[in-house]
Amino acid sequence: MLEGKNIILGVCGSIAAYKTATLVRLLIKAGANVQVVMTPDAANFITPLTLSTLSIRPVYVDYFKPDTGEWNNHVELGLWGDAMIIAPASANTMAKMAGGLVDNLLTAVYLSAKCPVYFAPAMDLDMWKHNSTRANIAAIQQFGNILIPPGSGELASGLHGEGRMAEPEEIIAFVEADIKGKLPLVNKRILVTAGPTYEAIDPVRFIGNHSSGKMGFAIADELASLGAEVTLVAGPTAQISKQKSVKRIDVISAAQMLNACLENFEHANACVMCAAVADYTPANVATQKIKKHDDGLTIDLKKTIDILKTLGSKKQPGQVLVGFALETENEEQFAIEKLNKKNLDLIVLNSLNDAGAGFKSDTNKVTLIDRQLKKTVYDLKSKTEVAKDICAKLLQLIN
């Protein structure tokens, strides 16, 4: 959930600030970009140099950079973040957050932030229980900010009770769960296929196609970023998922891809069949390498089982099935025939006649046609952007 996200980490003056070194490392490990902003007092508990080294970014403490006098732009910082985490959030800073007081860079960034703001309080037991603290927390939450509750245990004062900041691992888990819970495809299972299939002629040679798998992998990554549980059945390809949550099943042949799809389709809410599956496979596969002769070579082919049509025949009410049509002539006619013949809910049409579309390229130009034959034509875009368009339409169909 944090992969590629821009996280602003606000650090306040508290003994719990020592935990932010671990927190930064966990955020970086999760794939986030981390910008640390500290209050001046926080620098007494952990050095900016430590957090700068771990975050691989300069740490901001003051409005102005002491060496150059340049302005640390709190407005730009607030717009940059996908999320802001204030940890530890001291009683002093929470009072400022509740009252809108801006006397340091951190509170200025907080007031400028357009993203969700999480705060993890850290203070002694009596401070935590004080009515003014409770009122400030209630006010901060009313503003839409999200409390990461403190834990209970031994405190720096020697007292035992509530007030200790949540552990870094708990903060990461809390934020990820909160982000995921708000995503539109959370708890949805989606099956995606990608890449080519290779149909063996002998142990050395095969029949294949030029599919790189880029489009299917982009779709799988986009669906995962929307919260879906994605199973990706991939033919032979060098592509790698950017989203670590994607469950990948590697196959080689059309038969193997069919089996993998049948094993996962029943429990899927949707299936996006992006793979370029071979229509034919050798009727007989030689067990030894076929030697070259002066005469020509004839290979008998048989049809492979149509995976898309098979899934369409097994589709249950509520399931959404998406197919692809790569055409060279009569594009819309053939795509609509495929849509109806294979019981699809949506077909993605692209033509090899369009420059920049098709196999191996980083771009694609598609037309989406649904069951009602509503057609949406898109301009040439990167495959990442095309994946967003396809997934936006899929989201409508699922809902």
Question: What does 200-264 look like in DSSP terms, one character per residue?
Answer: ESSSS-EE-----SHHHHHHHHHHHHTT-EEEEEE-S-----SSTT-EEEE--SHHHHHHHHHHH
Peptide bond into 40 cis (omega under 30): no
| Of 136, 157, 181, the domain-final residue | 181
pLDDT in tens, 97-106: 999 999 999 9
Same-domain check for residues 207 and 156? no
Domain count, the chain: 2
pLDDT in tens, 254-264: 999 999 999 99
Average pLDDT, the chain: 92
Residue 379 CA, distance from chain mean position: 24
Same-domain check for residues 21 and 158? yes
Residue from 399, 397, 398, 376 nearest 386 by CA: 376
Same-domain check for residues 150 and 228? no
229 part of a folded domain: yes
1 part of a folded domain: no
Same-domain check for residues 385 and 248? yes
Burial class (CB in 10 A: 0-12, 13-18, 19+), 81: buried
Whole-number pLDDT of residue 152: 80
208 part of a folded domain: yes
CATH number for the domain that contains residue 267: 3.40.50.10300
- The yes-or-no verdict on residue 12 having pLDDT over 90 is yes
Average pLDDT for residues 15-40, to the nearest whole number?
95
Whole-number pLDDT of residue 200: 95
Inter-residue contact 290 to 207 (CB < 8 Å): no
Whole-number pLDDT of residue 358: 62
97 part of a folded domain: yes
Whole-number pLDDT of residue 352: 73
Is 338 one of the annotated binding-site residues?
Answer: yes
Name, in order, each residue with C-beta under 8 angstroms of 256's C-beta and a sequence gap of 6 or more: 197
Which amino acids are annotated catalytic? Answer: 209
| Of 157, 181, 205, the domain-final residue | 181
248 part of a folded domain: yes
- What is the C-alpha to C-alpha distance for residues 43 and 53, in angstroms, rounded to an integer? 14
Same-domain check for residues 41 and 104? yes
Helix axes 91-99, 131-142, angle to 10 degrees: 50
Average pLDDT for residues 305-313, to the nearest whole number?
96
pLDDT in tens, 321-366: 999 998 778 888 999 999 999 999 999 998 777 666 666 678 889 9
H or E segment and range at residue 95: helix 91-99
161 part of a folded domain: yes
- Tell me the residue range of the domain where 105 lies: 6-181
Same-domain check for residues 78 and 121? yes
- The yes-or-no verdict on residue 13 having pLDDT over 80 is yes
- The yes-or-no verdict on residue 169 having pLDDT over 80 is yes
Helix axes 20-29, 168-181, angle to 10 degrees: 40
Tokens of 270: 């949707």
Same-domain check for residues 73 and 153? yes
Same-domain check for residues 50 and 104? yes
| Of 149, 181, 213, the domain-final residue | 181
- Name 368's bridge partners: 348, 376
Q: Which of residues 265 and 65 earns the better pLDDT score?
A: 265
pLDDT in tens, 230-255: 999 999 999 999 888 899 999 999 99
Same-domain check for residues 145 and 270? no
Instruction: Please report the sign of the dihedral spanned by the C-alpha atoms of residue 91, residue 94, residue 100, residue 103.
Output: positive
H or E segment and range at residue 193: strand 189-194
176 part of a folded domain: yes
Same-domain check for residues 113 and 248? no
Is 279 one of the annotated binding-site residues?
Answer: yes
Inter-residue contact 391 to 222 (CB < 8 Å): yes
pLDDT in tens, 364-393: 899 999 999 999 999 999 999 999 999 999
CATH number for the domain that contains residue 32: 3.40.50.1950
Same-domain check for residues 62 and 120? yes
- What is the C-alpha to C-alpha distance for residues 330 and 188, in angstroms, rounded to an integer? 35
Strand arrangement, sheet containing 189-194:
247-250, 229-234, 189-194, 270-273, 320-327, 346-351, 367-370, 375-377
75 part of a folded domain: yes
Is 188 one of the annotated binding-site residues?
Answer: no
Q: What pairing do the DSSP bridges indicate for beta strands 301-303 and 199-200?
A: unpaired
Same-domain check for residues 153 and 250? no
pTM: 0.80
